[in-house]
Amino acid sequence: MKKKIALIAAALFVFASVEAFSFGIGVRGNYGYGYGGGASLLLSPNPDVHFGLNWYIGKELHLGLTGDYWFKSDLTSVGSGSLDFYVGAGLYGWMILSDDPNIGIGLRLPIGLDLNFDICDVFLEMAPQLGIGLLPSLWIGGDWFNAAIGFRFWV
């Protein structure tokens, strides 16, 4: 009997915890200086942490991952939502598949506006980036800049 009560209590705790946290999924359109236009699939375990799976198709296929933490500040209310300003700290990695492959990692500084509602948000961002190439040789630099517009649904 005690095991059944413990299982029921654990199940109620799990369901209550799931309801307390949000999970976001969305897309964004990107333009990256140095590699052109592309798109991203976004996954956000909560409103402050955001991950992206990015791809750019130009002369070569460019794949990337981003992970950002947003520090938000409310600007104003908009209907039932809010307009927020954010500055973030992030990391990214890339892999360019071509005749001359290239792999690297770097730092990002996302800055943007987020129009946030209960079930979705829409954002506009720019992110200066500094990278370190790892393969085929080690190098530091790149004058990279990323701009994006995107939306996310919260479940």
Domain assignment present for residue 12? The answer is no
Question: What global pTM score does this model have?
Answer: 0.79
In the predicted structure, residue 16 carries a pLDDT above the cut 60: no
Nearest to 101 by CA among 54, 136, 131, 53: 136
Domain assignment present for residue 9? The answer is no
Interval 132-149: pLDDT, tens: 989 888 888 766 788 999
Domain assignment present for residue 55? The answer is yes
> d(Cα 59, Cα 37) in Å, to the nearest integer?
11
Domain assignment present for residue 149? The answer is yes
Nearest to 72 by CA among 46, 95, 101: 46
Domain assignment present for residue 132? The answer is yes
Domain assignment present for residue 34? The answer is yes
Domain assignment present for residue 7? The answer is no
Q: What is the pLDDT of residue 140?
A: 86
CATH number at residue 66: 2.40.160.20
Q: Domains in the chain: how many in total?
A: 1
Residue 52 lies in domain: 22-154
Domain assignment present for residue 90? The answer is yes
Interval 100-112: pLDDT, tens: 888 999 999 999 9
> d(Cα 117, Cα 125) in Å, to the nearest integer?
17
